[in-house]
Amino acid sequence: MSAHQSYKRPRRQIRSQERAVIANVIVAMEKEKELNALLCPLSHNSSRVAEYTGASKRTIQRINAELKASGTVNPPEKRYRRPTGPKREIVDDFDKAIIRKTIDDFYLKKRKVPCVVSLLTELKSNMDFPYGRDKLRQTLIEMGYVRVGKSIDSKRRPLLERRENIDCRYAYLEKIMEIRQTASPIFYVYEQWIDCGFIVKKCWQGPTPAKGHKVENIVDSNSVIMVNIGSEKGYLPNAQYVFRTEFSTGDKHGQTIKEWNHDNFCKWIEEKVIPNLPESSVIVMDDAPYHKKLINRPPSYYATKAVMVGWLASRGCGEADVSMRKTHLVKLIEKHMPPEEYVVDSILETHGHRVVRLPPYNGDLNPSELIWGQIKNEVQSKIVDGSTMEKILNLTSQALMKVKPEDWKRCCNQVVKLEKDYWNKDEIMDDVIDGFLVDAAYDFGRSNDEDDGGSETHDDTDGEEDDDD
Protein backbone atom coordinates (compact mmCIF):
# COMPACT_ATOMS: atom_id res chain seq x y z
CA MET A 1 0.00 0.00 0.00
CA SER A 2 1.44 3.38 -1.04
CA ALA A 3 1.92 6.25 1.39
CA HIS A 4 -0.78 8.43 -0.14
CA GLN A 5 -3.39 5.63 -0.05
CA SER A 6 -5.58 5.53 3.03
CA TYR A 7 -7.03 2.37 4.56
CA LYS A 8 -10.79 2.16 4.21
CA ARG A 9 -12.62 0.23 6.87
CA PRO A 10 -15.12 -2.20 5.35
CA ARG A 11 -18.64 -0.88 5.59
CA ARG A 12 -20.87 -2.66 8.08
CA GLN A 13 -24.39 -3.46 7.00
CA ILE A 14 -26.92 -1.41 8.97
CA ARG A 15 -29.83 -3.47 10.18
CA SER A 16 -33.47 -2.47 9.96
CA GLN A 17 -33.76 -1.53 13.66
CA GLU A 18 -30.68 0.69 13.41
CA ARG A 19 -32.10 2.34 10.27
CA ALA A 20 -35.32 3.06 12.16
CA VAL A 21 -33.38 4.79 14.98
CA ILE A 22 -31.40 6.88 12.45
CA ALA A 23 -34.63 7.84 10.70
CA ASN A 24 -36.17 8.96 14.02
CA VAL A 25 -33.12 11.11 14.76
CA ILE A 26 -33.31 12.74 11.31
CA VAL A 27 -37.02 13.49 11.70
CA ALA A 28 -36.47 15.02 15.18
CA MET A 29 -33.62 17.22 13.96
CA GLU A 30 -35.70 18.43 10.99
CA LYS A 31 -38.45 19.45 13.44
CA GLU A 32 -35.95 21.40 15.54
CA LYS A 33 -34.67 23.11 12.38
CA GLU A 34 -38.17 24.19 11.40
CA LEU A 35 -39.03 25.38 14.93
CA ASN A 36 -35.59 26.86 15.48
CA ALA A 37 -35.86 25.46 19.02
CA LEU A 38 -35.22 22.30 21.00
CA LEU A 39 -38.04 19.77 21.20
CA CYS A 40 -37.17 19.11 24.87
CA PRO A 41 -35.22 21.17 27.41
CA LEU A 42 -31.53 20.28 27.75
CA SER A 43 -32.08 19.28 31.39
CA HIS A 44 -34.53 16.51 30.40
CA ASN A 45 -32.02 13.95 29.13
CA SER A 46 -34.30 10.90 29.03
CA SER A 47 -37.08 12.78 27.26
CA ARG A 48 -34.68 14.18 24.65
CA VAL A 49 -33.16 10.75 23.88
CA ALA A 50 -36.63 9.18 23.68
CA GLU A 51 -37.77 11.92 21.31
CA TYR A 52 -34.72 11.47 19.04
CA THR A 53 -34.59 7.64 18.95
CA GLY A 54 -38.26 6.76 19.10
CA ALA A 55 -37.70 4.45 22.10
CA SER A 56 -39.83 4.64 25.20
CA LYS A 57 -38.73 6.84 28.08
CA ARG A 58 -38.72 3.82 30.41
CA THR A 59 -36.31 1.96 28.11
CA ILE A 60 -33.97 4.96 28.03
CA GLN A 61 -34.02 5.19 31.83
CA ARG A 62 -33.23 1.46 32.18
CA ILE A 63 -30.28 1.69 29.75
CA ASN A 64 -29.05 4.80 31.54
CA ALA A 65 -29.13 2.97 34.87
CA GLU A 66 -27.09 0.08 33.39
CA LEU A 67 -24.49 2.52 32.06
CA LYS A 68 -24.10 4.18 35.44
CA ALA A 69 -23.87 0.84 37.26
CA SER A 70 -21.45 -1.11 35.02
CA GLY A 71 -20.38 1.19 32.23
CA THR A 72 -21.77 -1.23 29.62
CA VAL A 73 -25.16 -2.20 28.25
CA ASN A 74 -26.17 -5.87 28.50
CA PRO A 75 -28.04 -7.36 25.51
CA PRO A 76 -31.62 -8.46 26.22
CA GLU A 77 -32.06 -12.07 27.36
CA LYS A 78 -33.11 -14.44 24.63
CA ARG A 79 -36.56 -15.86 25.18
CA TYR A 80 -37.57 -19.32 24.06
CA ARG A 81 -40.02 -19.29 21.23
CA ARG A 82 -42.16 -22.28 20.49
CA PRO A 83 -41.22 -23.68 17.08
CA THR A 84 -43.76 -22.72 14.43
CA GLY A 85 -42.35 -24.73 11.55
CA PRO A 86 -43.55 -28.08 10.24
CA LYS A 87 -43.60 -31.15 12.47
CA ARG A 88 -40.49 -33.28 12.59
CA GLU A 89 -40.10 -35.93 9.97
CA ILE A 90 -41.27 -39.44 10.79
CA VAL A 91 -39.27 -42.45 9.62
CA ASP A 92 -41.99 -44.48 7.92
CA ASP A 93 -42.33 -48.26 7.74
CA PHE A 94 -40.71 -48.47 4.32
CA ASP A 95 -37.55 -46.80 5.64
CA LYS A 96 -37.66 -49.03 8.71
CA ALA A 97 -37.85 -52.08 6.46
CA ILE A 98 -34.67 -50.91 4.71
CA ILE A 99 -32.98 -50.36 8.09
CA ARG A 100 -33.95 -53.84 9.23
CA LYS A 101 -32.70 -55.41 5.99
CA THR A 102 -29.42 -53.47 6.22
CA ILE A 103 -28.81 -54.82 9.73
CA ASP A 104 -29.54 -58.36 8.54
CA ASP A 105 -27.14 -57.90 5.60
CA PHE A 106 -24.36 -56.96 8.02
CA TYR A 107 -24.68 -60.36 9.66
CA LEU A 108 -25.64 -62.57 6.73
CA LYS A 109 -23.73 -61.04 3.80
CA LYS A 110 -20.94 -58.83 5.13
CA ARG A 111 -20.27 -61.13 8.06
CA LYS A 112 -19.80 -58.12 10.36
CA VAL A 113 -21.34 -57.05 13.66
CA PRO A 114 -23.12 -53.71 13.06
CA CYS A 115 -23.03 -50.74 15.39
CA VAL A 116 -24.81 -47.39 15.09
CA VAL A 117 -21.88 -45.66 13.34
CA SER A 118 -21.34 -48.33 10.69
CA LEU A 119 -25.09 -48.72 10.18
CA LEU A 120 -25.54 -44.97 9.69
CA THR A 121 -22.76 -44.89 7.09
CA GLU A 122 -24.36 -47.73 5.17
CA LEU A 123 -27.84 -46.17 5.32
CA LYS A 124 -26.58 -42.84 4.01
CA SER A 125 -25.03 -44.71 1.10
CA ASN A 126 -28.02 -46.96 0.34
CA MET A 127 -31.07 -44.78 0.99
CA ASP A 128 -29.71 -41.26 1.59
CA PHE A 129 -30.78 -41.41 5.26
CA PRO A 130 -31.19 -37.70 6.14
CA TYR A 131 -30.62 -37.93 9.90
CA GLY A 132 -27.76 -38.41 12.32
CA ARG A 133 -26.90 -40.86 15.08
CA ASP A 134 -29.41 -39.60 17.63
CA LYS A 135 -32.31 -40.00 15.23
CA LEU A 136 -31.08 -43.41 14.13
CA ARG A 137 -30.83 -44.58 17.75
CA GLN A 138 -34.35 -43.37 18.42
CA THR A 139 -35.61 -45.21 15.32
CA LEU A 140 -33.82 -48.42 16.33
CA ILE A 141 -35.46 -48.28 19.75
CA GLU A 142 -38.85 -47.82 18.07
CA MET A 143 -38.08 -50.90 15.96
CA GLY A 144 -37.25 -53.02 19.01
CA TYR A 145 -33.46 -53.16 18.64
CA VAL A 146 -31.04 -53.00 21.53
CA ARG A 147 -27.29 -52.77 22.00
CA VAL A 148 -26.10 -55.66 24.14
CA GLY A 149 -22.93 -57.06 25.65
CA LYS A 150 -19.41 -55.68 25.55
CA SER A 151 -16.48 -56.81 23.47
CA ILE A 152 -13.16 -57.29 25.18
CA ASP A 153 -11.39 -55.53 22.30
CA SER A 154 -13.89 -52.73 21.64
CA LYS A 155 -16.25 -50.43 23.48
CA ARG A 156 -18.85 -50.79 20.76
CA ARG A 157 -21.94 -52.87 21.39
CA PRO A 158 -23.57 -54.93 18.64
CA LEU A 159 -27.12 -54.21 17.54
CA LEU A 160 -29.51 -57.07 18.14
CA GLU A 161 -33.26 -57.39 17.97
CA ARG A 162 -34.82 -57.97 21.37
CA ARG A 163 -35.19 -61.68 22.09
CA GLU A 164 -38.82 -61.34 23.21
CA ASN A 165 -39.71 -59.65 19.91
CA ILE A 166 -38.15 -62.49 17.91
CA ASP A 167 -40.07 -65.02 20.01
CA CYS A 168 -43.34 -63.14 19.48
CA ARG A 169 -42.73 -63.05 15.73
CA TYR A 170 -42.01 -66.78 15.69
CA ALA A 171 -45.25 -67.53 17.54
CA TYR A 172 -47.21 -65.30 15.16
CA LEU A 173 -45.66 -66.77 12.01
CA GLU A 174 -46.27 -70.30 13.23
CA LYS A 175 -49.91 -69.46 13.94
CA ILE A 176 -50.65 -67.49 10.75
CA MET A 177 -48.93 -70.06 8.49
CA GLU A 178 -51.05 -72.76 10.07
CA ILE A 179 -54.20 -70.68 9.46
CA ARG A 180 -53.25 -70.20 5.80
CA GLN A 181 -53.47 -73.97 5.36
CA THR A 182 -57.19 -73.74 6.11
CA ALA A 183 -59.92 -71.96 4.16
CA SER A 184 -60.47 -69.30 6.82
CA PRO A 185 -60.50 -65.73 5.40
CA ILE A 186 -57.92 -63.44 7.01
CA PHE A 187 -58.82 -59.79 7.65
CA TYR A 188 -56.38 -57.08 8.75
CA VAL A 189 -57.44 -54.19 10.99
CA TYR A 190 -55.76 -50.85 10.43
CA GLU A 191 -56.09 -47.54 12.24
CA GLN A 192 -54.34 -44.52 10.80
CA TRP A 193 -54.12 -41.09 12.44
CA ILE A 194 -54.06 -38.10 10.08
CA ASP A 195 -53.45 -34.49 11.05
CA CYS A 196 -54.04 -31.30 9.06
CA GLY A 197 -50.59 -31.58 7.45
CA PHE A 198 -51.35 -35.14 6.29
CA ILE A 199 -48.77 -36.54 8.68
CA VAL A 200 -49.86 -40.18 8.73
CA LYS A 201 -48.94 -42.36 11.67
CA LYS A 202 -50.09 -45.68 13.03
CA CYS A 203 -52.10 -45.43 16.21
CA TRP A 204 -49.82 -47.96 17.89
CA GLN A 205 -46.39 -49.28 16.93
CA GLY A 206 -44.80 -51.06 19.86
CA PRO A 207 -45.84 -53.50 22.55
CA THR A 208 -48.21 -52.64 25.36
CA PRO A 209 -46.23 -50.67 27.99
CA ALA A 210 -45.50 -52.21 31.33
CA LYS A 211 -47.47 -51.26 34.43
CA GLY A 212 -46.74 -47.77 35.59
CA HIS A 213 -45.54 -46.57 32.17
CA LYS A 214 -47.35 -43.61 30.69
CA VAL A 215 -49.07 -44.17 27.35
CA GLU A 216 -48.55 -41.24 24.99
CA ASN A 217 -51.67 -39.82 23.37
CA ILE A 218 -50.61 -39.17 19.80
CA VAL A 219 -53.73 -37.40 18.55
CA ASP A 220 -54.23 -33.65 18.67
CA SER A 221 -57.17 -31.27 18.49
CA ASN A 222 -57.20 -31.20 14.70
CA SER A 223 -56.84 -34.83 13.70
CA VAL A 224 -58.91 -37.81 12.66
CA ILE A 225 -58.46 -41.54 12.89
CA MET A 226 -59.46 -43.62 9.89
CA VAL A 227 -60.40 -47.17 10.85
CA ASN A 228 -61.03 -49.97 8.39
CA ILE A 229 -60.49 -53.65 7.78
CA GLY A 230 -59.61 -55.57 4.63
CA SER A 231 -58.47 -58.86 3.15
CA GLU A 232 -57.06 -60.14 -0.12
CA LYS A 233 -60.51 -59.52 -1.62
CA GLY A 234 -60.47 -55.83 -0.72
CA TYR A 235 -62.11 -53.70 1.95
CA LEU A 236 -64.79 -55.23 4.12
CA PRO A 237 -68.04 -53.60 2.89
CA ASN A 238 -69.55 -50.85 5.07
CA ALA A 239 -66.80 -51.14 7.70
CA GLN A 240 -64.89 -47.88 7.24
CA TYR A 241 -65.15 -45.42 10.11
CA VAL A 242 -63.75 -41.90 10.35
CA PHE A 243 -63.30 -40.81 13.96
CA ARG A 244 -62.61 -37.16 14.75
CA THR A 245 -61.05 -36.33 18.11
CA GLU A 246 -62.60 -33.57 20.19
CA PHE A 247 -61.13 -31.48 23.00
CA SER A 248 -62.81 -29.31 25.60
CA THR A 249 -62.45 -25.59 24.96
CA GLY A 250 -62.55 -24.51 28.59
CA ASP A 251 -59.66 -26.64 29.78
CA LYS A 252 -56.35 -24.86 29.28
CA HIS A 253 -54.60 -28.22 29.07
CA GLY A 254 -56.73 -29.32 26.12
CA GLN A 255 -58.14 -32.38 27.84
CA THR A 256 -59.58 -34.91 25.42
CA ILE A 257 -63.33 -35.37 25.76
CA LYS A 258 -63.64 -37.72 22.79
CA GLU A 259 -60.86 -40.13 21.94
CA TRP A 260 -60.30 -43.41 20.18
CA ASN A 261 -60.32 -45.93 23.04
CA HIS A 262 -61.43 -49.44 23.93
CA ASP A 263 -65.13 -48.62 24.11
CA ASN A 264 -65.16 -46.97 20.68
CA PHE A 265 -63.11 -49.79 19.18
CA CYS A 266 -65.49 -52.45 20.52
CA LYS A 267 -68.48 -50.43 19.28
CA TRP A 268 -66.94 -50.35 15.81
CA ILE A 269 -66.31 -54.12 15.94
CA GLU A 270 -69.88 -54.89 16.99
CA GLU A 271 -71.71 -52.44 14.72
CA LYS A 272 -69.64 -52.32 11.53
CA VAL A 273 -67.32 -55.33 11.42
CA ILE A 274 -69.18 -58.38 12.74
CA PRO A 275 -72.37 -57.87 10.67
CA ASN A 276 -70.27 -57.89 7.47
CA LEU A 277 -67.72 -60.61 8.24
CA PRO A 278 -67.93 -64.00 6.51
CA GLU A 279 -68.14 -67.05 8.74
CA SER A 280 -65.09 -68.31 10.66
CA SER A 281 -62.95 -65.28 9.84
CA VAL A 282 -59.54 -64.57 11.34
CA ILE A 283 -58.98 -60.99 12.49
CA VAL A 284 -55.37 -59.76 12.62
CA MET A 285 -54.73 -56.67 14.77
CA ASP A 286 -51.83 -55.14 16.68
CA ASP A 287 -51.40 -55.16 20.46
CA ALA A 288 -52.47 -51.60 21.23
CA PRO A 289 -53.67 -51.20 24.85
CA TYR A 290 -57.28 -50.59 23.81
CA HIS A 291 -57.21 -53.91 21.90
CA LYS A 292 -56.18 -55.82 25.03
CA LYS A 293 -58.58 -54.95 27.82
CA LEU A 294 -58.82 -57.98 30.10
CA ILE A 295 -62.17 -59.53 30.99
CA ASN A 296 -61.18 -60.31 34.56
CA ARG A 297 -58.46 -57.78 35.17
CA PRO A 298 -56.45 -58.44 38.35
CA PRO A 299 -56.12 -55.57 40.81
CA SER A 300 -53.10 -53.31 40.72
CA TYR A 301 -50.32 -53.88 43.22
CA TYR A 302 -51.27 -50.49 44.65
CA ALA A 303 -54.96 -51.35 45.14
CA THR A 304 -56.43 -51.46 48.63
CA LYS A 305 -56.43 -54.67 50.62
CA ALA A 306 -60.21 -54.87 50.39
CA VAL A 307 -60.06 -54.82 46.58
CA MET A 308 -57.34 -57.48 46.54
CA VAL A 309 -59.23 -59.75 48.92
CA GLY A 310 -62.47 -59.30 46.95
CA TRP A 311 -60.77 -60.25 43.69
CA LEU A 312 -59.10 -63.29 45.28
CA ALA A 313 -62.44 -64.38 46.72
CA SER A 314 -63.99 -64.23 43.24
CA ARG A 315 -61.19 -66.55 42.07
CA GLY A 316 -62.01 -69.09 44.80
CA CYS A 317 -59.15 -68.18 47.15
CA GLY A 318 -60.51 -68.46 50.69
CA GLU A 319 -57.26 -67.89 52.54
CA ALA A 320 -57.02 -64.17 51.72
CA ASP A 321 -57.84 -61.76 54.54
CA VAL A 322 -57.55 -58.00 55.02
CA SER A 323 -55.33 -58.62 58.05
CA MET A 324 -52.61 -60.03 55.77
CA ARG A 325 -49.74 -57.91 54.50
CA LYS A 326 -50.02 -56.62 50.95
CA THR A 327 -46.85 -58.51 50.04
CA HIS A 328 -48.62 -61.81 50.80
CA LEU A 329 -51.78 -60.70 48.96
CA VAL A 330 -49.74 -59.83 45.88
CA LYS A 331 -48.18 -63.31 45.91
CA LEU A 332 -51.64 -64.86 46.12
CA ILE A 333 -52.81 -62.70 43.19
CA GLU A 334 -49.86 -63.87 41.09
CA LYS A 335 -50.61 -67.46 42.06
CA HIS A 336 -54.30 -67.18 41.03
CA MET A 337 -53.66 -65.06 37.94
CA PRO A 338 -56.09 -66.23 35.22
CA PRO A 339 -55.04 -66.77 31.60
CA GLU A 340 -55.31 -63.56 29.61
CA GLU A 341 -58.78 -63.21 28.10
CA TYR A 342 -59.52 -60.03 26.19
CA VAL A 343 -62.89 -58.37 25.74
CA VAL A 344 -62.46 -57.91 21.98
CA ASP A 345 -61.47 -61.56 21.53
CA SER A 346 -64.52 -62.67 23.49
CA ILE A 347 -66.86 -60.54 21.37
CA LEU A 348 -65.50 -61.95 18.10
CA GLU A 349 -65.25 -65.53 19.36
CA THR A 350 -68.92 -65.39 20.39
CA HIS A 351 -69.73 -64.91 16.69
CA GLY A 352 -67.42 -67.70 15.54
CA HIS A 353 -64.35 -65.62 14.65
CA ARG A 354 -60.75 -65.72 15.85
CA VAL A 355 -58.23 -63.01 16.76
CA VAL A 356 -54.49 -63.13 16.01
CA ARG A 357 -52.18 -60.31 17.13
CA LEU A 358 -49.23 -59.01 15.17
CA PRO A 359 -45.81 -59.21 16.82
CA PRO A 360 -44.49 -55.91 18.16
CA TYR A 361 -42.59 -53.63 15.76
CA ASN A 362 -43.70 -55.67 12.74
CA GLY A 363 -46.28 -53.46 11.10
CA ASP A 364 -44.76 -54.58 7.79
CA LEU A 365 -46.66 -57.87 8.24
CA ASN A 366 -49.93 -55.95 7.83
CA PRO A 367 -50.74 -55.43 4.12
CA SER A 368 -52.73 -52.30 4.99
CA GLU A 369 -49.38 -50.53 5.49
CA LEU A 370 -48.66 -51.07 1.80
CA ILE A 371 -52.17 -49.89 0.93
CA TRP A 372 -51.64 -46.73 2.94
CA GLY A 373 -48.34 -46.14 1.19
CA GLN A 374 -50.29 -46.03 -2.06
CA ILE A 375 -52.89 -43.66 -0.54
CA LYS A 376 -50.23 -41.33 0.91
CA ASN A 377 -48.54 -40.94 -2.48
CA GLU A 378 -51.88 -40.15 -4.09
CA VAL A 379 -52.92 -37.54 -1.50
CA GLN A 380 -49.55 -35.85 -1.03
CA SER A 381 -49.27 -35.22 -4.76
CA LYS A 382 -52.44 -33.08 -4.58
CA ILE A 383 -51.96 -31.26 -1.26
CA VAL A 384 -51.06 -27.59 -1.39
CA ASP A 385 -50.01 -25.25 1.42
CA GLY A 386 -52.93 -24.20 3.59
CA SER A 387 -55.08 -27.23 2.82
CA THR A 388 -57.85 -27.68 5.36
CA MET A 389 -58.66 -30.89 7.16
CA GLU A 390 -61.88 -31.23 5.17
CA LYS A 391 -59.98 -31.01 1.89
CA ILE A 392 -57.45 -33.57 3.08
CA LEU A 393 -60.24 -35.93 4.13
CA ASN A 394 -61.90 -35.53 0.74
CA LEU A 395 -58.64 -36.29 -1.04
CA THR A 396 -58.08 -39.30 1.25
CA SER A 397 -61.59 -40.62 0.57
CA GLN A 398 -61.02 -40.28 -3.18
CA ALA A 399 -57.70 -42.13 -2.87
CA LEU A 400 -59.36 -44.89 -0.83
CA MET A 401 -61.96 -45.37 -3.55
CA LYS A 402 -59.19 -45.91 -6.10
CA VAL A 403 -57.82 -48.88 -4.15
CA LYS A 404 -59.03 -52.00 -5.94
CA PRO A 405 -59.28 -55.63 -4.74
CA GLU A 406 -56.33 -56.33 -7.04
CA ASP A 407 -54.23 -53.93 -4.95
CA TRP A 408 -55.17 -55.76 -1.75
CA LYS A 409 -54.39 -59.11 -3.39
CA ARG A 410 -50.97 -57.86 -4.49
CA CYS A 411 -50.16 -56.46 -1.02
CA CYS A 412 -51.34 -59.62 0.74
CA ASN A 413 -49.10 -61.70 -1.55
CA GLN A 414 -46.16 -59.46 -0.62
CA VAL A 415 -46.89 -60.04 3.07
CA VAL A 416 -47.03 -63.82 2.54
CA LYS A 417 -43.61 -63.62 0.89
CA LEU A 418 -42.32 -61.48 3.75
CA GLU A 419 -43.60 -64.00 6.29
CA LYS A 420 -41.59 -66.73 4.58
CA ASP A 421 -38.52 -64.50 4.48
CA TYR A 422 -38.80 -63.81 8.22
CA TRP A 423 -39.33 -67.51 8.92
CA ASN A 424 -36.21 -68.55 6.99
CA LYS A 425 -34.07 -65.63 8.14
CA ASP A 426 -34.87 -66.03 11.85
CA GLU A 427 -34.03 -69.71 11.63
CA ILE A 428 -30.44 -69.09 10.55
CA MET A 429 -29.85 -65.71 12.20
CA ASP A 430 -29.40 -67.11 15.73
CA ASP A 431 -26.56 -69.42 14.67
CA VAL A 432 -24.90 -66.72 12.58
CA ILE A 433 -25.03 -64.14 15.37
CA ASP A 434 -23.85 -66.66 17.97
CA GLY A 435 -20.81 -67.41 15.84
CA PHE A 436 -19.86 -63.73 15.56
CA LEU A 437 -20.38 -63.00 19.24
CA VAL A 438 -18.32 -65.98 20.36
CA ASP A 439 -15.47 -65.07 18.00
CA ALA A 440 -15.50 -61.46 19.21
CA ALA A 441 -15.57 -62.56 22.86
CA TYR A 442 -18.58 -60.49 23.89
CA ASP A 443 -19.51 -60.46 27.57
CA PHE A 444 -23.25 -60.72 28.23
CA GLY A 445 -23.53 -60.21 31.96
CA ARG A 446 -27.12 -60.24 33.16
CA SER A 447 -26.57 -57.16 35.31
CA ASN A 448 -25.82 -54.89 32.38
CA ASP A 449 -26.56 -56.80 29.20
CA GLU A 450 -29.02 -54.46 27.56
CA ASP A 451 -28.94 -50.79 26.77
CA ASP A 452 -31.98 -49.09 25.31
CA GLY A 453 -29.92 -46.21 24.03
CA GLY A 454 -31.48 -43.71 26.40
CA SER A 455 -28.73 -43.20 28.94
CA GLU A 456 -25.40 -44.13 27.34
CA THR A 457 -24.68 -42.62 23.95
CA HIS A 458 -20.89 -42.65 23.88
CA ASP A 459 -20.03 -46.28 23.51
CA ASP A 460 -20.62 -46.56 19.77
CA THR A 461 -18.87 -43.43 18.62
CA ASP A 462 -15.28 -42.69 17.76
CA GLY A 463 -14.88 -39.71 20.03
CA GLU A 464 -16.97 -37.51 17.74
CA GLU A 465 -19.77 -35.21 18.74
CA ASP A 466 -23.15 -36.87 18.86
CA ASP A 467 -25.27 -34.38 16.93
CA ASP A 468 -27.63 -35.06 14.11
CA ASP A 469 -26.50 -34.03 10.67
Average of pLDDT values for 35-48? 79
Instruction: Say whether both 352 and 218 belong to one domain.
Output: yes
Are residues 250 and 386 both part of a single domain?
yes
| Same domain as 396, residue 249 | yes
Query: For residue 333, is it within any domain?
Result: no
Q: CA–CA separation, 217 vs 203, rounded Å?
A: 9
Across the strands, what pairs with 355?
Answer: 283
Let me know if residue 320 belongs to a domain: no
Mean pLDDT rounded to a whole number for the chain: 76
Q: Which domain holds residue 21?
A: 16-70
Query: CB 451: neighbour CB atoms within 10 A?
Result: 17
Same domain assignment for residues 248 and 382: yes
* Comparison of pLDDT for 309 and 433, the residue scoring more: 309
> By percentage, how much of the chain surpasses pLDDT 70?
74
Our count of domains for the chain comes to: 2
Mark whether 65 and 187 lie in a shared domain: no
Q: Quick check: is 258 in a domain?
A: yes
Check whether 415 has a pLDDT greater than 90.
Answer: yes
| Of the residues 28, 49, 70, the one at which a domain ends | 70
Which of the two residues, 159 and 139, has the higher pLDDT score?
Answer: 139
Higher pLDDT, 152 or 75: 75
Cα–Cα distance, 379 to 393 (Å, whole number) = 9
Q: What is the pLDDT of residues 434-453, one digit of tens each?
A: 776 665 555 554 444 444 44
Query: Is 114 among the domain residues?
Result: no
Segment 243-249 shows an average pLDDT of 59
Q: Is residue 427 part of a domain?
A: no
pLDDT surpassing 80 at residue 273: yes
pLDDT of residue 213: 34
Write the pLDDT tens digit of every residue in 325-380: 999 999 998 888 888 889 999 999 999 999 999 998 888 899 988 888 888 777 77
398, 263: one domain:
yes
- Please report whether residue 466 resides in a domain: no
Distance CA 120, CA 88 (A): 19
CATH number of the domain where residue 382 is located = 3.30.420.10
pTM of the model: 0.66
Query: Does one domain contain both 54 and 192?
Result: no
Q: Is residue 349 part of a domain?
A: yes
The answer as to whether 359 is a domain residue is yes
- Give yes or no: residues 62 and 188 share one domain: no
